Amino acid sequence: MTKRLVAGTRMSQAVVHGGLIHIAGQVADNRKVSLEDQTRQVLDKIEALLKDAGGSKSKLLSVNVFLSHIGDFDAMNAVYDAWIDPANPPARACVEARLADPDLKVEMTAVGFVD
């Protein structure tokens, strides 16, 4: 059975299928704030989607991080490291990318499992 969370005409914010939750690229709603604040907003959105699907951050399998400036790597990691479950860190990639809006500093996708 497939469950789509926050489905729109173009995409769903998350899709649960086969015991996995696939989370679409999440960005900050308030884009006029620091990289750290944008990272917190993104992680909060990921955590809420995981919870809605019956998962949690301890059940993350992978995270992809897209930074508009790779120089923000350490600042993003400071927020990410405080948020992630250190006993269950997911696989992760981080790349520099041109994001859809010039005010965006970070975007993340994730895959986790649900019970």
pTM score of the predicted model? 0.96
Residues 6+ apart with CB under 8 A from 11: 24
- Tell whether domain 26-109 is in CATH 1.10.10.10: no
Q: What is the per-residue pLDDT across 53-75, written as a single tens digit (0 to 9) for each?
A: 999 999 999 999 999 999 999 99
Which among 39, 18, 17 is positioned nearest to 28, based on CA atoms? 39
Q: What is the per-residue pLDDT across 46-55, written as a single tens digit (0 to 9) for each?
A: 999 999 999 9
Query: Is 41 within 8 Å of 28 (Cβ atoms)?
Result: yes
All structural domains of the chain with their residue ranges: 26-109
